[in-house]
Structure 1
Amino acid sequence: MYIQSPFPPLPPVPQTNLFNVLLRRPDQAQWPDHTMYADGLTGRKVSFLQHVDRALDAATALSTPEAEGGVGITDGELVGIFSENCLDYIVLVHALLAITVPFSLFPSQPTSLELEHVLNTTKVTCVFVQPELLTGSIEAFRRANIPDDRIYILEGSSQGKLSLGDLIDRVRTSRIPRVSVREPKKDCLAYLVFSSGTSGLPKAVMISQDNVRFAIYQAIVVTMSIREVYEPPPPPTPHGFPVALSILPFYHSYGLHFTMFRTLLPSVVVVLPRWDMDLAIDIIQKHRVTMASFVPSLIHQLVNSPKFKKADLSSIQSMLSGAAYLPPQLADKLTSLTNPAAILAEGYGMSEGTISAMTKPIPGLLDGRFDPLPKCTGVLIAGVEARVVREDGSEAGFDEPGELLIRGGNVALGYWGNEEATEETFLPYGWLKTGDRFRVDKKGIFYFEDRGKDTLKVSGHQVSPKEIEVVLLAHPENLLVDASVAGVPGGRTSDEKVPRAWVVLSDEGKRLGANSVQRKLKAWTQKSLSKYKWLRGGIEIVDEIPKSPTGKVLRRVLQERYAQSLSTQSKL
């Protein structure tokens, strides 16, 4: 079936550099020079005009030829960003957008194997790295043929390396003429963000400047519709501006957009380098935070924290939950502990759709035609069309589960350097296969059914079972002949599943013994994979992996057997 967004259509989206849309809009000329970003650890503050100047000076440093004191980044280059959240991360992103140089967002805590995959996939020519991450990554950069003089420090210092701050200071002291903001061509690549997709190793999603501009105007239309039924009260802050808490990683679409691309109104964004529950609670109280974005696993931690329950959270006026399904009971507990009058927004999106495709409507929105039901995902946001199809590609009926396909100006360009995966996911006529199963009722309200093709969501991150299987089978002692990974209960919420492995031993594995193999595989995966990909569901040794006649692994059979074993144990 075919569904259109119930929101008003988007106004004409200006065909200009994203930098102008973010930081040089006509309305911003009337803004007071307020604090725009603040470092939650150091207390350092940067005003709106200071940030704009710093970004433009960084753009000048990056694009000015080396002979004239700059970095000399030219057309065709790709810059890597390898860092935890920090203020200069934002400066660098805005600067690269201004000169239309694409960048790749690297996960900030990859293993050596994951970093090698990211470098081999992107083939970045220059990288900005956090000082604390440099020592452990320098050899990987060299193996990727990145020259030492093209490895820069993002924020802070490291002996023998220039930092972004050094480059900006050089522009200012040498009075290098400031470069102009470049006008992008159609489909100008803005950045690469890694997504596990539905199978295999993480893929680099290509997001264009057009995609991000479209997403910003989608947010404007939705916000204007909300304001017709809900006008937020004045922010209870000393300076009178909203204060946002930024704790989600910038290398994730959610954190990137929330912190850097939603500059719609004057506000203060307090940035933390990483998730720290106690520190986040302190920041909410100290800065009188009015807006915060979370993922369900973080919400689960907060609502079960004695410190959170005792904290003064009355300043919070709005919260956003995304990246995974939020159980209604968890949502209710969050609002009851913060401010019962606060708006809790939920939605659905994916990196391949830039950021968002659905939002859960608040009461009264769109003339009250879509007042939300407890378990619904939401309605399509402005500018999005959708289809729900059966496995054979035919249109599903109302309330019939099927795969969700979406279309709109927010659909990405494809996967970087992976034509096969692009053709599988990005279909003709602009349709994107989400890989997720939904049903939709006659009103156009969508309900999430399950994650298609076995991709898991752990702590808001996509986890590909196939990636873990590849790592298991790559154990240097050749312990296995077959392996399968699927999700089983055990996450922080009832909806969240964690990876569990079923493995078939090789002759070497059998000689070693089951217990020894399990210990070795656990150590190997924890060495090779990020923590959220670890096999928290355990490792089970089996005689064979069930497969269909065509060779497809029947993961659901393994999951059902596991569920049955748990049920049997509970009855003993």
Structure 2
Amino acid sequence: MVSNESVTDVAEAVQRGQQRFGVPETLPPSEFSSLLDVLQQTVEEFPQHPALTALGHTTNYAELDRLSTIFATYLQQQTDLKPGDRLAIQMPSVTQYLVVAYGAFKAGLAVVNINPLYTEVELEYQFSHADVKAVVVFDKFLPHVEAVREKTPINYVFVTSPFDLHPPIQRLLMSTLLKVMGKSVAPGTAIPLRHALNAASVDGYQPVSLGSDDMALLQYTGGTTGVSKPAIISHGNLVSVTRQGWELLRLSATVRGEERIVSPLPLYHIYAFALVATIGIYMGAHTLLVPDPRNINGFIKLLRRWPATIFSGLNTLFVALLNHKDFNSIDFSTLKVTMSGGAALATGPAEDWASETGCTISDAYGLTEASPIVSFSPPNSGKPGSVGIAMPDTELRISDEQGNAQAVDEHGEIWVRGPQVMVGYLNFPEETAKTITEDGWLKTGDIGSVDADGFLYIHDRQKDMINVSGFNVYPNEIESVISKHPDITYCAAVGVPDDHSGEAVKLFVVSINPSLKDDDIRDFCSDKLARYKLPKHIEFRDELPLSNVGKVLRRVLRDS
């Protein structure tokens, strides 16, 4: 037991914070070896409970289990894919995402989460680097996949349409409407997901044995160094996150089988995937998926119809909802937990949300390499500016540049150790060694501190990373594309504050062509970078500030 006396040791402070809120410092050994065990327990306990609602259709846990098993059977019987192979998912947040993900797990495959907004250049890199053998893509994005297919290891392309899992009559009506509107996409040589689900059955499924060390996800990230690479997330990592997350949510009197989660963030983002596909599944929760959260009118209608008990979002979404004319028509009386992650939470929206809903926002801290959860603010008990206390089984360390441990309230790099820390980066052994110490500490690249009550604070994000609406944008990637423009000599990308997206990309350019315009640069990279990575602001300069060894001083540019 930690005393009430003042503490200076970070580890002791972390323990104090956990004890204060009844969060266990450690958890007993897990009964689950993989996410399949998590799903199986929930299906046995809550088979008829609603699992997912998307696009007006609800699927219960028994049906989610059945459909995912059928897809696994097809993979086993109709393809040459074998356990350990990688299957990419490229779609928005719809029920098919979970059907395909758990079907892949049941076939022993690892899932590669792919952002649907990626360009052909980005897709080719990730498909090839991750050695993706199969992909399930939303029909709207099929042309991009087909354009790069022959340049990648992909052998199987499955395509799904928005209403594939709806009842037959509704599916027919909606599909016909899409054709009339010119929004229907022909499958071409791709295998329709409906065909796979109709061509197999649960009877032919051959169960696979998955352990905690088996790969579950390859999640691409810029990492702590800004170079795009895939973090290997094991089943053990995600089982740990499931159990850790449940311990924190229990503080708000949540009950398995009785909660409704609203998840407007995309499932290809590790934050949403962990909440919906692991913690939500374990809880037997009814999750409302929001394929297009930018449609605030539709989102408001969804919230009015299905009052939430758990709401997850990020700063830009809270602002959009609060500013909507119909926000006050939503019933928040059932709301127990509001979570924020993926981007820094501004004070103003946090205060307004608490005032309007009666539920404070619990800020969290995490990163892909931690699968992703590190800390979480206890509901209605957080500290302003803090990202909460450490999760169970999680150690925090604040280190100086030499790796020496810092004391309470001292600033330094945040190091994390726990069962949620990734296995490493695929095909990047040197980067893995730089990021994870021999004794298991993950160097986050973020600067923070821990106070005497065990609350963690973030003082500076990764040195050069730009956070656009919760998406990590890395300057090196932008610069490598734009520097290929024949009229550009030097360029540097930095993040600048933006009222809508939190941060926006600003590009500084040195050009040999005085007639070069902003739009010329944007046009040059529009088919090479996702839209949110495109520079919103462009400034032409005669020269860029450089260090003694010739490196661009982005800090000087940000401060200019």
Deviation per CA, 1:411-438: give whole Å up to 9, x if none. Answer: 0011122223222212221111111110
Q: Does the alignment pair 1:256 with 2:262?
A: no
TM-score (norm 1): 0.85
1:330 match:
349
Give the secondary-structure state (helix, strand or coil) at the position aligned to 1:345.
strand
Cα distance, 1:310–1:219 mapped onto 2, change above 3 Å = closer
Alignment of structure 1 residues 84-95 onto 2, 5 Å:
84-95=92-103
How far 1:91 moved relative to its partner?
Answer: 0.7
Which one-letter code corresponds to 2:282 in the other structure? L
The 3 A distance-change label for structure 1 pair 285 and 315 is farther
Name the counterpart of 1:472: 482
Report the secondary structure of 1:251's partner residue: coil
**Counterpart mapping for 1:413-562 below 5 A:** 413-475=423-485, 478-492=486-500, 496-505=502-511, 509-510=512-513, 513-514=514-515, 516-536=516-536, 538-561=537-560
**Cα deviation code 1:465-484 (max 9, x no counterpart):** 11111111022xx1122111
Q: 1:246 to 1:85 in 2, by over 3 A?
A: same
Larger deviation, residues 195-204 vs 85-94? 195-204
Looking at structure 1, the residues matched to 407 and 308 of structure 2 have their Cα atoms a distance apart, in angstroms, of: 44
Amino acid at match of 1:242: E
Aligned-partner SS, 1:139:
helix
How far apart are the structure 2 equivalents of 1:242 and 1:377?
Answer: 24
Q: Is the 8 A contact 2:304 2:331 kept in 1?
A: yes
Q: Runs in 1 of length 4+ with deviation above 6 angstroms?
A: none
Matching residue within 43, 49, 59 for 1:46: 59
Asked if structure 2 preserves the Cα contact closer than 8 Å seen for 1:403 and 1:452, the reply is: no
Q: In structure 2, what is the equivalent of residue 570 of structure 1?
A: none
C-alpha distance in structure 2 between counterparts of 1:264 and 1:187, whole Å = 20
Q: Equivalences for 1:178-189 in 2 at 5 Å?
A: 178-180=205-207, 182-189=208-215
| 1:488-531 CA distance string (max 9 Å, x none) | 222437xx3322111222xxx33xx15x2433112223332222
Query: What is the SS of the residue equivalent to 1:197?
Result: coil
Amino acid at match of 2:119: T
Whether 1:171 and 2:200 are equivalent positions in the alignment is yes
Equivalence for 2:229: 203
Q: Deviations over 1:177-211 (max 9, x none)?
A: 2222x222452111111212244442211100110
Q: Flag the 1:259–1:273 CA change in 2: closer, same or farther, 3 A.
A: same
Residue number in structure 1 paired with 2:398? 388
Distance (whole Å) between structure 1 residues aligned to residue 110 and residue 220 of structure 2? 14
List per-residue Cα deviations over 1:316-361 (Å, max 9, x = no partner).
3322111111122211111223x21x35322100110002100112
Query: RMSD of aligned C-alpha atoms?
Result: 2.3
SS at match of 1:504: strand
Residue segments in structure 1 that go unaligned for 5+ positions in a row: 65-69, 364-370, 562-572
Compare 541-550 and 102-111 and name the one that shifted more.
541-550
Deviations 1:522-562 (A, max 9, x none): 222333222221212x111222221222333221111222x
**Structure 2: how far apart are the matches of 1:100 and 1:76?**
6
1:362 shift after superposition:
3.3
Closer, same or farther: CA 217–313 of 1 in aligned 2, 3 Å: closer
Out of 366, 374, 377, the position equivalent to 2:384 is 374
Question: Structure 1 residues 408 and 467, CA, compared in 2 at 3 Å: closer, same or farther?
Answer: same
Give the Å deviation of 1:410.
0.3
Q: Give the match's secondary structure for 1:136.
A: helix
- State whether residues 53 and 287 of structure 2, in contact with CA within 8 Å, keep that contact through their aligned partners in structure 1: yes
1:404–1:436 Cα contact (<8 Å) kept: yes
Structure 1: how far apart are the matches of 2:205 and 2:228? Answer: 38
Whether the aligned pair in 2 keeps the contact of 1:283 and 1:289 (CA below 8 Å) is: no
Q: Could you tell me whether the CA contact under 8 Å between 1:61 and 1:71 is conserved in 2?
A: yes
Deviation at 1:121, TM superposition (A): 1.8
Q: Per-residue displacement from partner, 1:419-461 (whole Å, max 9, x unpaired)? A: 2322221222111111111011222211110112211211011
Task: Tell me, yes or no, if the aligned pair for 2:121 and 2:528 is still in contact at 8 Å.
Answer: yes
Kindly indicate whether the alpha-carbon contact (under 8 Å) linking 2:475 and 2:492 is maintained by their aligned counterparts in 1: yes
Say yes or no: does 1:102 pair with 2:110: yes
Q: Confirm or deny: 8 A CA contact 1:402 1:437 kept in the other structure.
A: yes
Match of residue 132 from structure 2: 124
Number of corresponding residues: 518
SS at match of 2:118: coil
Structure 2 residues without counterparts, runs of 5 or longer = 1-8, 165-185
Percent of pairs identical after alignment? 25
Equivalent residue letter for 1:151? V
Code of the aligned partner of 1:549: N
User: SS at the partner of 1:487?
Assistant: strand
Letter in 1 for 2:523: A
Q: 1:132 to 1:111 in 2, by over 3 A?
A: same
Counterpart-to-counterpart distance in 2, 1:311 and 1:45: 21
- 2:364 is matched with 347
**Aligned mates of 2:432, 2:353 — CA distance in 1:** 39
Contact 2:34 2:212 in 1 (8 A): no
Change (3 A) 1:16 1:397: closer
Q: Note the alpha carbon deviations across 1:217-260, whole angstroms, 9 max, x for none.
A: 11233234x1xxx436x99xxxx943222321111011212221
Q: Which residue of 2 aligns with 1:368?
A: none
Q: Is the 8 A contact 1:501 1:535 kept in 2?
A: yes
Contact map agreement 1:199 1:464 (CA 8 A) in 2: no
Q: Deviations over 1:387-409 (max 9, x none)?
A: 11122322223222111110111
Is 1:458–1:491's contact at 8 Å kept on the other side of the alignment? no
Which stretch shifts more, 538-547 or 205-214?
538-547
Q: Distance in 1 between matches of 2:34 and 2:557?
A: 50
Shift of residue 312, structure 1, vs aligned partner: 4.2
Query: How far did residue 165 of structure 1 move?
Result: 2.8
**Which residue of structure 1 aligns with residue 253 of structure 2?**
231
- 1:486 touches 1:499 (CA, 8 Å); kept in 2? yes
SS at match of 2:444: strand
Residue 361 of structure 2 aligns to a residue whose secondary structure is strand
- Supply the distance in 2 between the matched residues of 1:329 and 1:540 (Cα, whole angstroms): 30
Following superposition, the deviation at residue 385 of structure 1 comes to 0.6
**Structure 2 CA distance for aligned equivalents of residues 84 and 460 of structure 1:** 16
More displaced, 136-145 or 463-472?
136-145
Matched position secondary structure for 1:38: strand
Q: Residue 29 in 1 paired to residue 44 in 2?
A: yes
Of 136, 140, 159 in structure 2, the residue corresponding to residue 153 of structure 1 is 159
Render the CA deviation track for 1:124-151: whole Å, top value 9, x for unaligned.
Answer: 111111112112320211221423xx11
